[in-house]
């Protein structure tokens, strides 16, 4: 990827979506004038002003290919981001990964408390579906229902939660996964939500399932590339820039793409996947440039 690319279309695309997603959450999360204020403050802490917003940008950029109204795409993007944020809150809990730092600031249970963190995660999980079921997100009930089915699957036992337990069981029971199993684990843990983001953009665009095959291929490739990049970041990254604890995989003796393949081969594999991903967009013109740049950003990022 050229520096021009990142500084140009992608950088402005990310900045724009970051500000827009902040606004959507701000609108959905007015602080109530009662004792629920603590919960909503916690939900705002976890969703406003943090995160790269890769998933919302995937939703919006895919939706844009099909001329979808931007407000609708941003709402769907916020729903995906709410799921992402809830999963980070719960993953950071002491009984899970016990992390102190997220997006460069203390994790939610450090700033508030554990009980509030559990509840804020739960409430963001529900918020995602509330947003998608809202007629203002789409006036077409079929679209709403498809968005919800897609996000529900990506979040549950056959998606993120399933990948997370596979990861946990490996840590606790010393299960040794091979590359095939690690790939499967990561497809669930990370890939499912990235793929859902692209899928939701296509659903908003009313692209029939048979017209989504190239987008699914794209998101499968960037999903794997994203996780390889994450594993590389854990080994070679700068903790300050990453805004979260690094070197954790090695400390925990965890199997990752990097431990299984080595740094060089992992980096090479990530690049191959990104080229493949970009290849799947060959039938789109310049309107898919953001998706192309995003694929490259995913492996080049430093956080």
Binding residues for a second copy (CB under 8 A):
32, 34-36, 38-40, 43, 86-87, 90, 93, 95-96, 113-116, 118-119, 121-123, 125-127, 129-130, 132-134, 140-142, 144-146, 148-149, 151-153, 155-157, 159, 161-162, 164-166, 168-170, 175, 181, 184
Nearest approach in angstroms of CB 276 to a second copy is 26
Nearest approach in angstroms of CB 47 to a second copy is 12
**149 vs 217, beta carbon nearer a second copy:** 149
The residues near 120 (Cβ < 8 Å, ≥ 6 apart) are 39, 42, 43, 45, 46, 86, 89, 108, 112
48-70: b or e for each residue (b if 16 or more CB lie within 10 Å)?
bebbbbbbbbbbbbbbbbbebee
**171 vs 300, beta carbon nearer a second copy:** 171
What sign does the dihedral 165-161-221-262 (CA atoms) show? Answer: negative
Nearest approach in angstroms of CB 76 to a second copy is 14
**13 vs 205, beta carbon nearer a second copy:** 205
Q: What angle do CA 102, 105, 109 make, to 5 degrees?
A: 70
**145 vs 276, beta carbon nearer a second copy:** 145
Nearest approach in angstroms of CB 249 to a second copy is 18
**154 vs 294, beta carbon nearer a second copy:** 154
Task: Evaluate whether 21 touches 78 at the Cβ level (below 8 Å).
Answer: yes
Nearest approach in angstroms of CB 153 to a second copy is 6
Residue 43 CA to residue 278 CA, distance in Å, equals 35
**29 vs 68, beta carbon nearer a second copy:** 29
Residue 269 CA to residue 221 CA, distance in Å, equals 10
3-state secondary structure of 101: strand
Element (H, E) at 105: strand 105-106
15, two tokens: 């900045």
The residues near 69 (Cβ < 8 Å, ≥ 6 apart) are none
Nearest approach in angstroms of CB 57 to a second copy is 23
Cβ neighbours, 10 Å, residue 253: 10
Nearest approach in angstroms of CB 84 to a second copy is 13
**119 vs 235, beta carbon nearer a second copy:** 119
């Amino acid at each position: 990827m050229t520096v021009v690319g990142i500084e140009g279309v992608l950088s402005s695309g990310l900045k724009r979506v970051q500000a827009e997603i902040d606004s959507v959450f701000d609108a959905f999360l007015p602080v109530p004038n009662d004792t629920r204020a603590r919960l909503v403050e916690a939900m705002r802490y976890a969703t406003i002003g943090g995160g790269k917003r890769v998933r919302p940008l995937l939703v919006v950029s895919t939706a844009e290919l099909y001329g979808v109204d931007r407000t609708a795409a941003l709402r769907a993007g916020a729903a995906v981001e709410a799921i992402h944020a809830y999963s980070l809150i719960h993953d950071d809990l002491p009984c899970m990964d016990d992390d102190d730092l997220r997006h460069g600031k203390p994790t939610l249970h450090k700033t508030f408390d554990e009980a509030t963190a559990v509840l804020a995660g739960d409430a963001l999980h529900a918020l995602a579906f509330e947003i998608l079921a809202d007629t203002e997100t789409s006036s077409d009930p079929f679209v709403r229902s498809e968005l919800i089915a897609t996000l529900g699957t990506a979040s549950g036992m056959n998606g993120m939660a399933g990948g997370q337990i596979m990861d946990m069981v490996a840590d606790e029971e010393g299960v040794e996964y091979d590359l095939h199993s690690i790939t499967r684990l990561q497809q669930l843990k990370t890939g499912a939500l990235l793929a859902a983001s692209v899928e939701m953009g296509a659903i908003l665009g009313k692209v029939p399932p048979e017209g989504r095959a190239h987008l699914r291929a794209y998101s499968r490739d960037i999903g794997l590339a994203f996780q390889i990049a994450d594993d590389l970041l854990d080994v070679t990254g700068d903790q300050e820039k990453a805004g979260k604890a690094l070197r954790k995989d090695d400390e925990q003796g965890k199997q990752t793409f990097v431990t299984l393949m080595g740094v060089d081969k992992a980096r090479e594999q990530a690049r191959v996947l990104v080229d493949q991903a970009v290849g799947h967009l060959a039938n789109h013109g310049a309107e898919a440039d953001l998706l192309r740049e995003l694929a490259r950003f995913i492996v080049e990022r430093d956080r």
